[in-house]
């Protein structure tokens, strides 16, 4: 299947990181896959003829689908956050796609809890996952969807690696659903500016 669009969620692999704030990107993609009836599978390194497709360091789970007749893939890297570019770069090269065909979904502690921010490009803003992707792609010109996780007064590292409290889950679940809707809109070729008008506003 030749993908025309790639959605990459940023997060850390492993059960110990499931449900943590840093894994919001994974949570959104899980919702998208569930809503669209897609199944997750491990990345295959070779095609049916045995031709090598990816190097050994490209580790991810994928969910493939189509929207408006165009194939897409959801990607959850099995590398850690700060190595997200090791997956994003080869995936784009494999599909011979430009960075504009990549949507990255991630957590953002500079946004209030549950706030969404969709942009066509921009800086990493201190996020190591975006830094890794930008270092590999050598550009900031790719869309990204940030989901606010709020910021603590101190202890940023501990904050992003902790799970949401019961009260926070109530606040963040509607944002995860709206983020999934934004991803689906992008996959369906809705104009990015229109999606920004809808999903960047305060609810």
Residues known to be catalytic? 22
Pairing of strands 116-119, 144-148: antiparallel
Beta bridge partners of 146: 106, 117
**Residues whose CB falls within 8 Å of the CB of residue 197, separated by 6 or more in sequence, listed in order:** none
Which DSSP helix (H) or strand (E) runs through 26?
helix 24-36
116 close to 147: Cβ distance less than 8 angstroms: yes
Tokens representing 92?
């784009």
Distance CA 198, CA 194 (A): 6
Supply 105's token pair: 């979904």
Query: In the beta sheet, which residues pair with residue 6?
Result: 73, 102
Q: Encoding tokens for residue 40?
A: 């997750």
Report how far Cα 55 is from the mean position of its chain's Cα atoms: 21
Q: Which two tokens stand for residue 19?
A: 């449900």
The 8-class DSSP code of residue 142 comes to S
């Amino acid at each position: 299947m030749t993908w025309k669009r790639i959605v990459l969620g940023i997060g850390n692999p492993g059960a110990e990181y499931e449900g943590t704030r840093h894994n919001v990107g994974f949570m959104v993609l899980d919702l998208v896959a569930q809503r669209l009836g897609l199944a997750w599978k491990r990345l295959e390194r070779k095609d049916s003829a045995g031709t090598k497709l990816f190097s050994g360091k490209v580790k991810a789970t994928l969910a493939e689908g189509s929207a408006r007749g165009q194939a897409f893939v959801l990607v959850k890297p099995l590398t850690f956050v700060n190595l997200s570019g090791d997956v994003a770069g080869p995936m784009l090269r494999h599909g011979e796609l430009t960075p504009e065909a990549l949507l990255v979904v991630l957590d953002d502690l500079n946004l209030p809890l549950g706030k969404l921010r969709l942009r066509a490009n921009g800086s990493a803003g201190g996020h190591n996952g975006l830094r890794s992707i930008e270092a590999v792609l050598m550009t900031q010109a790719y869309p990204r969807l940030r989901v606010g996780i709020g910021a603590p007064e101190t202890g940023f590292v501990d904050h992003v690696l902790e799970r949401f409290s019961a009260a926070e889950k109530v606040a963040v679940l509607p944002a995860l659903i709206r983020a999934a809707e934004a991803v689906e809109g992008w996959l369906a070729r809705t104009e990015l500016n229109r999606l920004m008008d809808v999903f960047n506003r305060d609810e």
